[in-house]
Amino acid sequence: MNANPSEPAGVPAPVASHIVRVSLGERSYEIQIQAGLLADLGSRLLRIAKGRRLLVVTDRTIGPLFGPVLARSLQAAGFDGSLAELPPGEGAKSLDVAKFLYDRCFDAQLDRSSCLVALGGGVMGDLTGFVAATYMRGIDFVQVPTTLLSMVDASVGGKVAVDHPRAKNAIGAFHQPRAVFIDPLVLAKLPDRELKAGLAEVIKYGVLDDRTFFEFVESNVGKLLQRDAAALSSAIEKSCAIKARIVGEDEREREGGPRALLNLGHTFAHAIETCTNYQGYLHGEAVAIGMAMACELSVARKLLSRGDADRVRQLIELAGLPVKLKAGDPPADDLHAATFRDKKARGGKLRFVLATSIGTTKVFDDVPEEAARKIWDLPRD
């Protein structure tokens, strides 16, 4: 049915737009969520851009899929845009690739009024944000995430970074985007494996902050896997709202602040990614295993009931995600050693985000090293 009876048959009704605000004073910004938004991004960017020169940073997989639509929208709005296409994958998050992008910024004659546009998943967002934070001592950038994981997590919050061979996201800064533009329609072209990886972060929000949301994901995991538009939009909006609230309370992860809770499962996950040289596991897959491990550690420390831990594990498995390491993965001792390079570690002591119930988490710095080490000895597939 047409929203406006005067419109001819076949004209689609307006699509609902959802806005989540990240409240950070002068650095506040909006997360705009709307189906079909990508084709209208140029006019939306006009409202916040300081100048008309920009550089779109994407990878060679995403660029051909969504670059033409974005380019037409930017050109129609009068932007003078250039494009940088990079190899896909975690390997692009390096200082060498950042240097290449600095050269592209100079080639495009970008100045302090210019803007970078990150079109892609979390890798493109982190890398583009890092370059934006450091080029000319900081220029604007916007996030246009194209994966579920980047929509619900990586694009929000201003953590930008590149990897170091010894630790993931070890070189970075806090640099908030000017806006985040989310078009759920792009998920239609997302590979199934990537969709499932994004669900790991969706599940994480329910475990760490909102039991009711966890129950929503439990009830709708089939619809989410089938890419049901309403279920996906609800999951994206709620995940963004949880992260926006936490970031608004604690922008730079102050000591004792709530932002560290967003790293539930990540101490284990980052060790897995580092020791496997960022190969074999997508970030969301590593987070899924890390979240299952964190729940096991919580049970061992008598913080979480066996029933809640099993419930989390079962939902992860229902989402088609791993909960165990593979038999051929690095030795437990190597993985445990890598946890000490986690950003939350203090004075050589490990700190873990652990659940005390579904929907409630805390940071613990009193977990004995022996207890943490035992988790790496859990059975493997």
Per-residue pLDDT tens over the stretch 26-79? 999 999 999 999 999 999 999 999 999 999 999 999 999 999 999 999 999 999
pLDDT at 10: 39
pLDDT of 256 > 90? The answer is: no
The tokens describing 105, both together, are 């910024």
Average pLDDT over residues 221-238: 96
pLDDT at 55: 98
pLDDT at 9: 38
| Class of residue 93 by CB neighbours under 10 A (exposed 0-12, middle 13-18, buried 19+) | buried
Average pLDDT over residues 212-230: 97
Average pLDDT over residues 134-155: 97
pLDDT of 16 > 90? The answer is: no
Domain coordinates of the chain in residue numbers? 18-189, 192-375
Positions annotated as catalytic residues are: 137, 159, 201, 243, 253, 259, 263, 266, 270, 283
pLDDT of 328 > 80? The answer is: yes
Contact criterion met (CB below 8 Å) for 155 and 179 = no
pLDDT at 11: 37
pLDDT at 17: 80
Using 50, 70 and 90 to split pLDDT, how confident is the model at 343? low
pLDDT at 299: 98
pLDDT of 3 > 50? The answer is: no
pLDDT of 130 > 70? The answer is: yes
pLDDT at 5: 36
Q: 310-327, pLDDT tens digit by residue? A: 999 999 999 999 999 999
**CATH code for the domain defined by 18-189:** 3.40.50.1970
**Domain 192-375 classification at class level:** mainly alpha
Alpha-carbon Rg for the chain in angstroms? 21
Rounded to whole angstroms, the Cα distance separating 286 from 276 reads 10
Backbone angles phi, psi at 355, to 5 degrees: -85, 140
